[in-house]
Structure formats: structure tokens, C-alpha cells
Chain A
Amino acid sequence: MSDVVIEVEELSKIYRLGSIGTGSLRQDLQRWWTTSVLKKNDLFFSGKDTNAAAQRQFLWALQNISFQVKQGEALGIIGSNGSGKSTLLKIISRIVRPTNGLVRGKGKVSSLLEVGTGFHQELSGRENIYISGYILGMSKNEIQKKFDEIVAFSGVEKFIDTPVKRYSSGMYVRLAFAVAAHLEPDILIVDEVLAVGDADFQKKCLGKMREVSRADGRTILFVSHSMQAVKNLCDKALWLNQGKMMASGPVSHVVNSYLSGVQQLKLKQQWATPDEAPGNDLVRLKSVELIPQTANPDEPLDIRAALTVRFQFWNMSDDVLLSAGLHLFTYGGDCIFDVPAPATTCDKGIVEGECTIPGNFLNDGSYYISLIILRDTSVVLYHYEECLSFELEDYRENIQWYGKWSGAVRPKLPFALKQSKMALQE
């Protein structure tokens, strides 16, 4: 089990920015002239130029990434948009070449970077299963053996001979994933795009992938923005930021440091003068801040922490009846609550407000807060969406269960079992 199946050494990838289509013949000739005729080092390939202008034309999608993956491991790759996750997957999948460095591996690799690779709208479900299977590297035998299973998993039996262009998008996605789910590579590379479809189907997909990695001992590389999914599926994780490796190791450790790195961005926002602040002629936001009521502010927030939302805004008119509303949303966009602040008559100047969300009330997950400022209890003066966002970590004590806790909130309500005094037989 401890065999290394993927080894990545000093991997780098540079992209040339700017217009690739036009003028590239000229650039190519220029490059050929400098490298071949003048025998100068090509900036593009040496990557160590001192010329700042030239440097700006290049983008380091990946910079000196090294890691190893052992057989049977599930490695999650996390990072914000543009951090190089997909580039890394594409290099390991042999789709693009690195600029520098080396990837070596053992066994057959299949990559699922999109839903329905090789699907064609005009072809029937049956045709598409075959062609997509072949493109993803399955053999004819494999597909024939699993055909019924694939169809059953997707649940489109009735429409298997209908062109997929007549499918609903849900059916399409289900069929496409079903093909992918029945691949049997040694190494499976999955991009987050697979997490589409309804929640139920997502669960099914993740379940299938977990089954693949745990039961069959396959190696999985998994890119996702959903920390929950990464934590559920992976044992190890890799955090990329702007092409550099920030951390790697056990999944909970990496996810925590990633979250505390990202979180600060949206825990506090403030503006020095009304001119640069968001808002309008009537009100402008001065600051909005989430203050966790915890002993150690450096630790990631968990569900025990009470959270205080404090905000200030400039009120530009005298003698108005102002009120405010605080909306809390899950990351998926479901509103959990809408707390109104009672209306108060205010004059020109700074108005502030504060609201505390109790600890042990929200479930673990990502949330964001929107702020609404109203006049005369009903006229919206300003609606600032997603002014704060935060993530709460799980915390469990004395509970022997580790699955995802369902529900948007997890309030601690008085709830207990006790032995009844009644006898079994009356």
C-alpha cells in the first residue's frame, strides 16, 4: 500500500499572456531569431529575466511543485481560482506539457475534467456511452460488461436510444457521470466540475468516488472548492496559491490553514472616506466587521464561537427613520435568517449597529452575510450583498459519529433520553 504511484518533481508551467492568435507568427519569428540566430537565451524558457516588462507577459501557473502520492491515497487539491489546480491536473493527465520539471507515475490514469467528455448532442445515449468510454480509455469489453450497470446508475433506461440533445440537463449529467464512475483506472483524476446536478446526485457521485478510493484501493486526485467534499473524500491535501505550494499534508491540517488564510479577506471591511465607500447619496457604508467571541483569534472559527457583526455607516440626511436587516446565507445561497433592527430616528452622521449570532447555533460550513439599510421600515436605501463571509469548522465532543452533520443550523436544544419507569409488559 505504501508504493508511490505519482511523483511530481519541481514542476513549473509558464503561460504567455496577451494575444496568442494575432501576431504570434511575428513573435515566433522574433523568438527564433533571438534564440537560433543571435544565440541568446530565450526569456520565455529561461524564466529568469531581469526585464520587468517581459516578466509581466508571462504567468507562472505553477512554480516548483513537488509532491508524491502513494497508492490508495486520495489527495485533495485546494486553492482559490487561478491558483493552478486545474493546470496541475492537466499536466498529470498528459493534456498539457509542463515548462519545467517531471511527473512520473505507475498505472493507468483516467481524468475527468468535465462532465460528458466526448459526448455528442446528436448521438443516442447508447452511442455516447461507448464513444465517451473509449475516449476516457475504457476497452470494449469493459464497456460491454458494465453497460447495464452504467444505464442503471444513470436512470435513463427508457431514453437510451434517444439522442442526448433531447435529454433534460439532469439526465445528461447523470448519464455522463455514470460512464465516468465506471472507469477502472489505477489513478483517477477528478476536477470539481463533476460536482454538478442536484444535491442528491452530488451525494451519489461523492459516495461512488469514496467507494472507488476506499474499497478498491485506487488513487484519487481531487480538485474542489468545497472543503466539506475534500475533507470527506481525501486523506491528504495540497494547497496551491498562485502557482506555489502553500502547504501539503493531512487533509484537516491543510484545509484549516487554507481557510484561515482565505478567511481574513472577508471578516472585515472598512472605508476611510465616504467617497470611496459603497453606497449611494443617502447612506454609505463605513465599516462592517465580524468579531468572533473566542479566546484565541488566530484559530479557525468553529461552531462554538459566538459571532458579533458590527457595522457603521454614514447617514447623509437629517431626521430619517432608519432600520437595518441582517441576512445570513449558506454558501449555497439559502437564507438562514433575516434579523431586523428596530427603526430609529437618526440625524446626519455616523450610525452604527451590532448583532450577535450565538455560539453553538450554526452548523459547520461556509456562510455569508448581507446587510440592508431601510428607511421608514420598508424603503430599501442600500443593499450590500455578501459584505462578510466566513467558514465555521466542525467541533464535536462526546459524539461517536463523523459524517456530515445535516441542516443549516445546529442549535443545542435541550434533548435527552431517559429510561422510562414503565415496565415492558403492563
Chain B
Amino acid sequence: MAAGKKVWDWEISAKTSYWDWSLPELWSYRYLLSSLVRRDFLLKYQQTILGPLWILLLPILTLITYVLVFGKLVGISTGETPKVLFYFSGIVLWNLFSDSFTGTSNTFRENARLFSKVYFPRIVMPAAVTSSHFLQFLIQFALLLLLIGYYGIFQGYRPSFSLWVVGFPIAIVLVGVIGFSLGLLFSVLTAKYRDMVSLINLGIRLFMFLTPVIYPLASVPDNLHWIVTLNPLTPLFELFRLGLLGEGVVTPANLIYSLLFAIIVALAALLTFNKQGDKLIDVV
């Protein structure tokens, strides 16, 4: 320590900054993250009869509904792809987005008590929520792969694979990133303005219809095409299906648009969360 000049480890002032992530600090909280994910799983399935089976059961039930309603009743064409595979791939990826989005957007509301009693990097909480939804996604994704295998072996389904197969992990990551980042942005808003909660719940349901979850982009009428393509999730869903099922409409321009959107929204979310996070404790 230099004479006359004190060296401080930390400093707290009125100013909050946009960018003061301390990586060593975050790293030291990695166990908190993993135990929060663990807690999430334990809590969700404690005192349920089927337990973790629900992770698979819910999307399967959704799948049955979609096949009946949109497939049989409404009769939306899914192209060459079997309806089951088409809908299930959409459901699985959409769940990843909507779960991580709604999960993170409640960060401040759900943890207000905890946040007002102890300090830890606030980002750990939404990160844990997203991680646990991502794990859930991986389990559902495994079921999707099994279904594809089943259709390939027993139903004579031959998806036309191409080089695009490398694209589906990119789609997954970007969908996760966008869900998490939008969630973070909205978490700041829901903390301040509770009205946002209802808006989010409604908005996410409507948003699903703007995303090619239950219909392929190819079947969208031309006059509505632009709205659906404006949605940055659209190219990612198409890329996901193109990679796995060999059917989808993707152009490089669309993909770059989604990628840029993901990067910008992620940066904006991290900056806002960092800047506003500490102030929000007074408001929540």
C-alpha cells in the first residue's frame, strides 16, 4: 500500500454505471447459479406424482392440441414434413423463447424480498432461470430427435438434409439469447410499472402467431409476409426446421438481421440491467 494513498477494494456511490461487470465476482457466484437451477427443478416437481415427466408431458399435450386444431380443423399445410414433427419442433423452440422471456421478465418482482436483504450480482437470478429453461429445452429437444428417428425408421420419412444442418444450434442459441435479453429489458419495466405484467402475458401469446410456430413461412400470404419477416425470430425458426427437417425458407440477409437484432438487444439489456438494477430495489 502506497504511503498516504489508500487502496480500496470497493466503492459505493450514487452513480450506477452501464458497464462495470466484475468477471471474477461473477465467477465466484457460479455455484449459486448451479444450485439455483437445481432448486428450480426440485421445487417444480416436488409433491407431483409424475415429477420431471411433466417436462415432456406438457409439450406432448400441446402437440396433440395443435395437431387436432391447426392440423385437422384449420388444415394449415406443413409441406412435406409430417405434422407431428413440424408442430413439435415449433413448440419446443417456442417454449425456450417464451419461458426464458417470461421467466427473466419477473426477476425483480419475484425476488424483491431477497434482493432487499442481501447483495449478490443480480444477473445471477435471471441467468439461473434461463439456464433451467434451457436444460428443460434440451430434454424436450432429445424427444424431438427421437421422434425424427421414429418417423425415419417406421414411417419412411426422409428429410432432405443439407449443409444447413449446422444451422440449428445457432438458431437455438440466438432464440435463447433473444428471450433472455428481452426478458431482462422487461424485468426493469415490470419492476417499475406493474401494468407491464398483464401486457407481457397477452403480448407473448399474440407474438406466437407472428412467429412461424404453427405454420411454415412458405404458407404465409404475400400481403402479410412482411410482418412475419419483420419478426427477428422468424428466420431462426425457419433455420431450426431447415437444419433438422430439411424444410424452411432462409436467406442470409434474414439471418444477419436476426443476428444483429440478438446482439443489439443483448447489449441493451445488459447495459440497462446494470444501470437500473441497483436503483430498482427502492421501487419494487
Binding site for B on A (CB under 8 A): 4, 7, 15, 20-21, 24-25, 28, 90-107, 109, 111, 113-114, 117-118, 120, 122-123, 127, 130-131, 134-137, 139-140, 163
B118 and A140 contacting across the interface, CB-CB below 8 Å: no
Closest B residue to A93 by CB, please name it. Answer: B119
Inter-chain contacts of B12 with A (CB < 8 A): 91-92, 94, 97-98, 102-104
* In the complex, B46 has a CB within 8 A of chain A: yes
Q: Shortest beta-carbon distance, A213 to chain B, in Å?
A: 20
B283 within 8 A of partner (CB): yes
Residues of B within 8 A of A4 (CB): 6
Apart from A94-B12, A104-B10, A135-B32, list 5 A-B contacts with CB within 8 A: A93-B119, A97-B12, A99-B14, A102-B11, A136-B118
Complex alpha-carbon distance, A109 and B42, angstroms: 30
Residue contact A98 to B192, C-beta cutoff 8 Å = no
Q: Least Cβ distance of A261 to chain B in Å?
A: 30
Q: Is the CB of A95 within 8 A of B42?
A: no
Contact present for B14 and A140 (CB under 8 Å) = no
B117 at the interface (CB under 8 A from A): yes
Q: How far is the CA of A127 from the CA of B34 in the complex (A)?
A: 12
Q: B281 in the interface, Cβ–Cβ < 8 Å?
A: yes
B binding-site residues for A, Cβ under 8 Å: 6-14, 16, 28-29, 31-32, 35-36, 38-39, 42-43, 46, 114-120, 192-194, 278-279, 281-283
For B119, list chain A residues within 8 Å (CB).
93-95, 109, 111
A130 cross-chain contacts in B, Cβ below 8 A? 35
Q: Are A97 and B11 in contact (CB under 8 A)?
A: no
Q: Is there an interface contact between B281 and A120, defined as CB atoms closer than 8 Å?
A: no
What are 18 A-B interface contacts by the 8 Å CB criterion? A15-B282, A24-B192, A94-B278, A95-B118, A95-B281, A96-B116, A96-B278, A96-B281, A98-B13, A106-B9, A117-B117, A120-B43, A122-B46, A127-B39, A131-B39, A135-B32, A137-B120, A139-B31
A91 to B119, CA, bound (A): 10
Contact B14 A135, beta carbon cutoff 8 Å: no
Contact of A95 with B9 at beta-carbon distance under 8 Å, contacts A101-B14, A120-B43 already known: no
Q: With a CB–CB cut-off of 8 A, which chain A residues contact B42?
A: 122-123, 127
The docked-state distance in angstroms from the alpha carbon of A169 to that of B28 is: 32
Q: Tell me which of B118, B194, B282 contacts A118 (CB under 8 A).
A: B118
Q: Are A139 and B9 in contact (CB under 8 A)?
A: no
Q: Which residue of B lies closest to A98 (CB)?
A: B14
Hey, which chain A residues are within 8 Å of B35, CB to CB? 127, 130-131, 134
